[in-house]
Amino acid sequence: MNAISHALLTFFVAMLVHLAIWRIRLPKKNRAIVLLNVFFWTLVLGVILLEGISSYTDYIVLYCCLAAAYIVSYPAMEADSPSLEIVRNIAKAGASGLEKGELYSTMTDEKLVVARVEDLLNDGLARLDSGKYMLTPKGRFLAGVFVWFRGLLNAPKGG
Amino acid sequence: MGDNGMHIFIPFIGLAANSLAQVAVFRFFPRIGLLRSVFFGFACGFIASLLVTPGAMSASNFAIYVLLGYCYFHFVNMGETARRIRILTELADAGNGLSLGEILGRYNSKDIIDRRLTRLINSGQIRCENGRCYTGNVTVLAMAGFLAAAKRIIFGEMR
């Protein structure tokens, strides 16, 4: 087996562990951290069991890239993407189409914004202080990275 | 580069070229659009990887480069579409925090829906006539189906 098959096998094991944890008891908070732990400890196990294989570095780097690709994709599975929801609702309406107003009435502030603000609190990126949402140092760092990158692209605020 | 373990840096050199090319092309030719700039950057990064590879590129290096490119695409896309990142940048802009009402004054469900409708219309995924919207190209609809299936596997049911 080469680095690719070893990395895929380890990734598959990590996915099984991830699925088992999520199915048995879905973590309430910091799911990204739990996910990182699952991938990290599976790698540690893989590194111990597969010690001495050729292209060891390729195996570790490839596995880390597979894990990173999954972790960055995970939020899209957890939170409903508004674009996908719009497309799904329009498709459900069939050939007669969907009135735009129906989108505004079903996709509310509560669902699209307030739920994401709650996520920021749960992930420790923001805190609620006397009725005001403030950034934590972690949140300020993350916001800074994106403000810097959007500035580099000369692009306006996203969202 | 000789094969003394240094070959593992090749995909990272490709990623650096990818991000430099993407930022440069989007900054100086914004009309190209974000998605096309990402594809352009990916191609440039791949060519750069080939140029620094002695002989043929290994399959594992190719896989690592593709995965790194995918992660970079997600990073760019998060700045463009992620609601959490937009809320974080609004909180960073405000400095002294924002109440929920103030957040919704700056960013709300109507903004979110309008931005997405514009993107979906521009990419041909939907078309809107006389206040009604209809399904166009089915790429995003297929993606919605794929994500729904992934959700069923991970969470066990539709959430």
Q: What is the residue extent of each domain of chain A?
A: 3-78
Boundary of a domain, candidates B81, B109, B139: B81
Interface contact A108, partner B, CB < 8 A? yes
> In total, how many domains does chain B have?
2
Is B53:B1 a contact under the CB 8 Å cutoff?
Answer: yes
Contact B133, A90 (CB under 8 A): yes
- Partners of residue A156 in chain B, C-beta under 8 Å: none
Asked if B85 and A146 come within 8 Å (Cβ–Cβ), the reply is: yes
> Is A139's Cβ below 8 Å from some Cβ in B?
yes
Q: Is B110 a member of any domain?
A: no
Positions of E strands within A90-152: 98-99, 126-129, 132-135
pLDDT at A1: 60
Taking CA–CA distances from B74, the nearest residue in chain A reads A72
Q: Does any CB of chain B come closer than 8 Å to the CB of residue A107?
A: yes
Asked if the structure places residue B73 within a domain, the reply is: yes
Q: Give the end of a domain, one of B30, B57, B81.
A: B81
Which range of residues forms the domain containing residue B64? 6-81
What pLDDT is recorded for position A109? 96
A residues 24-63 near B, CB within 8 Å?
26, 55, 57-58, 61-62
Among candidates A87, A91, A158 on the partner chain, residue whose Cβ is nearest the Cβ of B79: A158
- Domain annotation covers residue B88: no
| Residue of chain A whose alpha carbon sits nearest to that of B58 | A58
Report CB contact under 8 Å: A158, B126: no
Residues of A in Cβ contact (< 8 Å) with B143? 84
Identify whether B66 is part of a domain: yes
Q: What SS3 state is found at B134?
A: strand
Contact B78 A146 (CB under 8 A): yes
* Pair B77, B16 in one domain: yes
In a domain, B102, yes or no: no
With an 8 Å Cβ cutoff, are B96 and A132 in contact?
yes
pLDDT at residue B82, rounded to an integer: 94
B157 occurs within a structural domain = yes
What's the sign of the alpha-carbon dihedral A33, A39, A45, A47? negative
Q: What is d(CA A134, CA B103) in angstroms, rounded to the nearest whole number?
A: 11
Distance from C-alpha of A21 to C-alpha of A40, rounded to nearest angstrom = 15
Whether B82 contacts A159, CB under 8 Å? yes
Nearest to A104 among B26, B110, B154 (CB): B110
Q: B29, B51, B81 — which closes off a domain?
A: B81
The segments of chain A whose pLDDT lies below 70 read 1
CB distance A109–B108 less than 8 Å?
A: yes
Positions of chain B with pLDDT lower than 70, given as ranges: 1-4, 157-159
Establish if B58 belongs to a structural domain: yes
